[in-house]
Structure 1
Amino acid sequence: MPLAAPDFIGLFEPGAIHPSTDGDSLRVRVVPGVPLSLPSGRVIAMEPFLCGFDDAEKLAFDERVAPGTYPVVLVMVDVVGEDGKVTDTRVAAARLEIRDEPVVSWELALRPGQDAAGLSDDEYFGYPVDGGTGCFVDAQTFEAIGEEEDFADRVVSAMWEDDAGAPGPKRTPDPVTLAVEDDGHAVVVFSTGWGDGVYPTWIGRTADGDVACFLTDFDALFDEDDPC
């Protein structure tokens, strides 16, 4: 069977404390949402440095939503040492909220040509990250980014800066919103868990079967009921 969705409701409960493999504690908190424009309602989750390359129709999820502006909420984990001090902070998940309704079921978000029924045990579809950064973007915006020559440079400048505000080694607090053309809420960018990997996006559905959210899990926490 393909990978089963973790218990995201319990896993990402604000204030929850989870163990870390090195003995520290991981404390969950949620960052207030920032707006994302979806002019076409076609959602893409990917590493932002590649925005504008490839075919948007191949990258957008099959599931469409009504065009509009929706909040992107980040689930953060603070690494807390034995002395109670926070030593690090990571993004555990990014959630694009379509409806403010309870999620009763989860399924993998699929792109054209993907079939979850063909996955083997614990396999999943996800997007690759090798620059420690992910994003949500609309397919129409993706195509507009293709007209730019320096979008990847803009991502780097926005995500890393020194104390003087110039590009440098200091990471900008997550999330970061980038404008494209005259849209000030075109791309929402964030760091990805502990770094690089392949990360699945899940669709959360309401009791009526409507899309409540798209959630990308960055594997920063594990389900304590999972023996693995």
Structure 2
Amino acid sequence: MTVFAGGVLDGEGAVRPAVDNGPVVAASVSPGSYSVVLSVATWQHSPNPAIASPMRRICAAKVQILPDAVDIWRPARMSKNDDHPVPLGVPVDSGTASFFDFSARQWLGGLQRNDNHWAHALDCMRRDLYARFEDPNLTASVVMFECGMGDGVYDLSLGLTKDGRIAEIVLDLELLSHSLGPL
């Protein structure tokens, strides 16, 4: 994903909550291109007859900010008062989540109102487990993906280097802690 304005957001893939209610700012980072890594579990034989084998589900999603090793993990927090930070949970009500540059809010809101775009995004996620979009003016970027356990509130963590810089932003989609069966 490409960050143009210096911040990474995490929110529901159906972006309306982020546009209407203010997005969840995961971290302030320098503008640049960052890899998004999806951890995928595969069941060779689907335990759910409605889902074809092999069944693949995303366990976690990560934005790799720095190549440096993570020294410590801490919950992402948001607060107007540093004495009382509130842990961030990413609420999901569409079965999808996303990482995107905060400059993408308005552009993503417009895309969500386009039924053809949403249908295309869902097709991409069914086929590839993710959908990636950049606006034509190259001022916004988003990576959307299905959540392993569907709707809920998922923990967001920051991996920090020894000197306190953000190396990774990780969204735990809780699949392994609620596994449908042996991997």
Residue aligned with 1:54, SS: helix
Root-mean-square deviation (CA, aligned residues, Å) is 3.0
1:1-228 → structure 2 map (5 Å cutoff): 36-51=1-16, 53-54=19-20, 56=22, 59-61=24-26, 63-81=27-45, 87-113=54-80, 124-148=87-111, 150-151=113-114, 153-160=116-123, 171-183=126-138, 186-222=141-177
Residue aligned with 1:101, SS: coil
CA displacement at 1:65 relative to structure 2: 1.0
Residue aligned with 1:156, SS: helix
The higher-RCO structure (CA 8 Å, 6+ apart) is: 2
Instruction: State the identity as a percent.
Output: 27
- Separation of aligned partners in 2, 1:50 and 1:130: 10
Q: Please state which structure has a larger fraction of its residues in helix.
A: 2
TM-score (structure 2 length as normaliser): 0.79
Residue aligned with 2:28, SS: coil
Residue aligned with 1:91, SS: strand
Contact 2:4 2:139 (8 Å CA) reproduced: no
Contact 1:48 1:155 (8 Å CA) reproduced: no
CA displacement at 1:191 relative to structure 2: 0.7
Q: Which runs of no fewer than 5 residues in structure 2 stay unpaired?
A: 47-52, 179-183
Contact 1:108 1:116 (8 Å CA) reproduced: no
- Separation of aligned partners in 1, 2:139 and 2:107: 13
The one-letter amino acid of 1:220's match is L
CA displacement at 1:145 relative to structure 2: 2.8
Residue aligned with 1:141, SS: helix
Instruction: Give runs of ≥4 in structure 1 deviating > 6 Å.
Output: none
Alpha carbons of 1:144 and 1:114: their partners in 2 closer, same or farther (altered >3 Å)?
Answer: farther
CA displacement at 1:195 relative to structure 2: 1.3
Max radius of gyration: which structure? 1
CA displacement at 1:113 relative to structure 2: 3.7
- Separation of aligned partners in 2, 1:139 and 1:173: 24
Residue aligned with 1:212, SS: strand
Q: Which runs of no fewer than 5 residues in structure 1 stay unpaired?
A: 1-35, 162-169, 224-228
Contact 1:50 1:152 (8 Å CA) reproduced: no
- Separation of aligned partners in 2, 1:128 and 1:183: 28
TM-score (structure 1 length as normaliser): 0.64
Residue aligned with 1:200, SS: strand
